[in-house]
Structure 1
Amino acid sequence: MRCFEDFVCIFVIQFVTDASKLLSLLKTLGSNSTSTTISTVTSLMKKVNGMQCGIALVKK
């Protein structure tokens, strides 16, 4: 729970998980693309050794 000066409290729940399989899928899809932008992003992702993704749920 986070409270601010005007006494407004916000409840935050965060979930984070390993996304290595998602990273592998994106690398595979990107390697078959003809777009230069997607190819550039794919080449940068090849240097990533792990990735986490998550979501934050906020109740105001």
Structure 2
Amino acid sequence: MQKGSVMVDKGDKVQTGKRIGLVGNSGNTSEPHVHIHAEKDGKGVPIEFNGSFPVRNSLIW
């Protein structure tokens, strides 16, 4: 995520289509991308995209 671009706060409910921030090259990368990790009560939980659960290094278009 681009520094200073986050548009949500901790605890916000995020609806489909809501912009949460901007991605971009913020380090040594060849293209803009974002890494996502979700937790509930300190434990990792699966994230669903378009009806499926992506595995590590999956590309979402």
Give the number of the structure with larger relative contact order, counting CA–CA contacts within 8 Å between residues 6 or more apart: 1
Question: Greater strand percent: which structure?
Answer: 1
TM-score above 0.5: no
TM-score (norm 2): 0.22
Structure with the largest fraction of helix: 1
Larger Rg: 1
